[in-house]
Amino acid sequence: MNIFESIILGIVQGITEFLPISSTGHLTLAGKAMGLISDSHPERWTSFIAVIQLGTLASVLVYFREDIKNILTAFFRENAFERRSYREQSLYSRLGWLIIIGTIPVVVIGCSSRRRSRGCSRKICMSSR
């Protein structure tokens, strides 16, 4: 893969990541159309997708860095040091609680389906050979 192909795929990732469609699916379709996905080395494509999605994560963290800093600062200050009740906490501190509460179902579902997904991925790998 050359730099031009990487730029094209980066543009596809950037356009489709924040739309309610699968950016990974679109990257894969673009990669297949460009002849970049090797049947003999699919791990190279998987590695590329992981790296390009880390780039997306990094850009989101940079863009929201002030909000993230404010949430973390307020959350720890108002819960660990000042011990305020939830109703007395600032918006940023309450956002910290909402992020934690919103993360719990994802963690529970992810951990409970972990064993099942490993079995599924093995079956997919075996059937694709």
Digit-by-digit pLDDT tens for the chain (129 residues) are: 788 888 888 888 888 888 777 888 888 888 888 888 888 888 888 888 888 889 888 988 999 999 999 999 999 999 999 999 989 999 999 999 999 999 999 888 888 876 665 554 444 444 444
Q: Provide CB contacts within 8 A for 38, sequence distance 6+.
A: 44, 45
The pTM of this model reads 0.67
8 three-state secondary structure: helix
CB 92 within 8 A of CB 73: yes
> Phi and psi for 113 in degrees, rounded to 5?
-95, 0
Structure token digits, residue 29: 């379709």
Residues constituting the chain:
129
Reported as type and span, the H/E element at residue 70 is helix 65-76
